[in-house]
Amino acid sequence: MYPAPFRYHRAATLDDAIGRLVGIGEGARALAGGQTLLVWLKMRFDEPTDLVDIGRIPGLDAIEHDTKGVRIGALATHARIARSPLAKQIPIVGDCANGIADNQVRSRGTIGGSLAAGDPSCDWPVLLTTLDATVHCRGPAGARTLPADGFVQDLYATRLEAGELITGVSFALPGKGSAGAYVGFKRCAPAFPTSSVGVQLTLNGDDCTQARIALGSAALTTIRAQAAEAELSGRTLNAQVIARAAEAAAAAADPVPDQRGSPAFKRSLIDALVKRGVEVARRRARGETVEVSHEYY
Ligand SMILES: Cc1cc2nc3c(=O)[nH]c(=O)nc-3n(C[C@H](O)[C@H](O)[C@H](O)COP(=O)(O)OP(=O)(O)OC[C@H]3O[C@@H](n4cnc5c(N)ncnc54)[C@H](O)[C@@H]3O)c2cc1C
C-alpha cells in the first residue's frame, strides 16, 4: 500500500528541525532512517501531514568513547555501530547491533529511531536499559536527559514531549570484572526477535556483585527483570542460582500471543536466553572472547 500524501521538509540543523516540528504541530513526524516510520505510513498505521527529515543534520551520528564513558549520536546507524571499535571493546554492543534485521535495515536504521519508535521488539531500548544508559533529548524547552530504563512508557509511546528529539545516548564503560551479553531468538534475519535478553554482570571470580537483566519482545515495553537480578546479585554463580534467575525473568515477562509464538513459548525462550546470556557474560568477564548474536529457528 502507498502512504497517504505528506509534505517533506529537510532540516538543516537541530534547531531548524525542532522549530519545524513545533511550528507544524500534531501532524509532523521526524524522519531518521525511515525503517520503521515508512513501514507505518505504508500500512496507514500513521498518517502524518509532514515529515521533517533529520537524517542530514551534521554531527548527530558520532560514536565516541573515552575513559569516562560512551556517547552515541541519535543518527548513528546500526551498521556503523556494529563496525565501530566500540562493538569490539564492549561486545554486548556488537551483539545487539549485529543482530538487528538484515544489511539493508542496519544500513539505514538509527539508534535514535529505534528508541523513539517505542516498539517493544526493538533491540536498542533493551540493550540501553541493560547498560543503565542515559537518553539525551532536545526540544523547544531546551536539553534534558532521561534514563533509558522507562524511556519507552507503553506500546509505541515514549517520554518524548511534542517537538522533542533524541540527540544521543550515553553510558559508562563497564568496570573491572563487568561484562555482558545480548542474545535474541528470531525466525530469520529480517524479522524482529521473538524474544531477546540483555545481561550485564559484575563478577569477582564466580561471585556476582551486581546484575542487570532486561527483556525485549516480552511485554508491551522493555522489561527490567529485577527479581532475576536479585537472584544473581550477592550470590556465587552455579547452575541452580542461574536457573532461579532465568525462572524469575520468565515469570516477569508478560508476552502477547502473535504469529511468532504463544506466551508460554516466549517465556520458555526467555528462560533459555537468560541462562545463555549469563553464561556468555560470565565467560567474557573471565577474559574469554565469545561471539554471540541473535539465533534463528
Ligand atoms: C524488515 C525490518 C526488520 C527489522 N528488524 C529489526 C530487529 O530485528 N531489531 C530491531 O531493533 N529493529 C528492527 N527493525 C527496525 C529498525 O531497527 C529501525 O531502523 C528502527 O526501529 C527505527 O530507526 P529509524 O532510524 O529507521 O527511524 P524512523 O523509521 O525514521 O523513525 C521511527 C520513529 O522514531 C521517530 N524518530 C526517529 N528518530 C528520532 C529522533 N532522533 N528523535 C525523536 N524521534 C525520532 C520517528 O518520528 C518515528 O516515529 C526492523 C525494521 C524492518 C523494516
Measured distance CA(247)–CA(95) in Å, rounded = 23
Question: Is residue 189 within 6 Å of ligand 1 at its C-beta?
Answer: no
Q: Which residue's C-alpha comes closest to atom 36 of ligand 1?
A: 113
| pTM of the predicted model as reported, rounded to 2 decimal places | 0.97
Domain definitions of the chain by residue range = 7-53, 63-172, 178-296
Q: 100-154: per-residue pLDDT in tens?
A: 999 999 999 999 999 999 999 999 999 999 999 999 999 999 999 999 999 999 9
What confidence score (pLDDT) does residue 35 get? 98
Question: For residue 194, is pLDDT > 80?
Answer: yes
What confidence score (pLDDT) does residue 297 get? 75
> What cell does 272 get?
533459555
Which atom of ligand 1 is nearest to 30's Cα?
47
Q: 76-102: per-residue pLDDT in tens?
A: 999 999 999 999 999 999 999 999 999
CATH class of 7-53: alpha beta
CATH class of 178-296: alpha beta
Question: For residue 216, is pLDDT > 80?
Answer: yes
Displacement of CA 34 from its chain's centroid (Å): 17
pLDDT band, residue 34 (cuts 50/70/90):
very high
Displacement of CA 70 from its chain's centroid (Å): 15
Q: Which of 31, 47, 105, 260 to mutate to test the pocket of ligand 1 (most atoms within 8 A of CB)?
A: 105
Beta pairing class for 142-147 and 223-224: unpaired
Measured distance CA(48)–CA(30) in Å, rounded = 10
67 alpha carbon to ligand 1 midpoint, in Å? 30
pLDDT band, residue 45 (cuts 50/70/90):
very high
pLDDT band, residue 293 (cuts 50/70/90):
confident
Cα dihedral 258, 260, 261, 265 sign: negative
Taking Cα atoms as reference points, which of 57, 33, 76 lies closest to residue 138?
A: 57
What is the CATH architecture of 63-172?
2-Layer Sandwich (3.30)
39 alpha carbon to ligand 1 midpoint, in Å? 10
Which atom of ligand 1 is nearest to 77's Cα?
25
Question: Is residue 50 within 6 Å of ligand 1 at its C-beta?
Answer: no
Q: What is the mean pLDDT of residues 269-281?
A: 98
Question: For residue 294, is pLDDT > 90?
Answer: no
202 alpha carbon to ligand 1 midpoint, in Å? 31
Integer CA distances (angstroms), 87 to 15, 35, 156, in order: 31, 22, 27
Q: What is the mean pLDDT of residues 7-35?
A: 98
193 alpha carbon to ligand 1 midpoint, in Å? 14
Q: 233-260: per-residue pLDDT in tens?
A: 999 999 999 999 999 999 999 999 999 9
58: exposed, middle or buried (Cβ count in 10 Å: 0-12, 13-18, 19+): exposed
The backbone torsions φ and ψ at residue 173, rounded to the nearest 5 degrees and listed phi first, read -65, 135
Q: What is the mean pLDDT of residues 215-227?
A: 97
